Structure 1
Amino acid sequence: MTKIMERVIEDVQSLSTNEKNNLMKYLIASLDETHDNDSEQQWANLAKQRYEEIETGKVQTVSWDSIKQQVIS
């Protein structure tokens, strides 16, 4: 463990519960920022492609009840 990490852990122990909660939210949010910057565009492209496949009849939709029946069987 690095000296910085040791110091952070020591400092965190002196925080109030509310401050620890805020720190935790900040740390989790900072992890989310490391995602692939292009991922939202890729999801949008995939959604558009799937929509077009349904609209053109290339694929057929399946009802939720049908899916449940397949899982149960």
Structure 2
Amino acid sequence: MGADGAEARRREYQAAEERFTERAADWFRVTTRTGPDAMADAFRQLIQGPGDPAAVRVVRPTAASRGRREAVIR
């Protein structure tokens, strides 16, 4: 694939993920948080059991990582 191909694929995936997140707001309450504390809170809520099925949390490790690696936890 090469470096250029990998970067193009990452950008394509990022754009698709952002479109999905924007459109998901029509059906779900979407919240986005960044940082290790946000990730720890989302994980704790996940292991505590069923949450609100209408709530979606988008968690990013850091603000600088926007669109690079995200965990979407419902």
Under a length normalisation based on structure 1, what TM-score does the superposition of the two structures give?
A: 0.32
Relative contact order, higher structure (CA 8 A, sep 6+): 2
Structure with the higher strand share, 1 or 2: 2
Under a length normalisation based on structure 2, what TM-score does the superposition of the two structures give?
A: 0.32
Structure with the higher helix share, 1 or 2: 1
Kindly name which structure, 1 or 2, has the bigger radius of gyration based on alpha carbons: 1
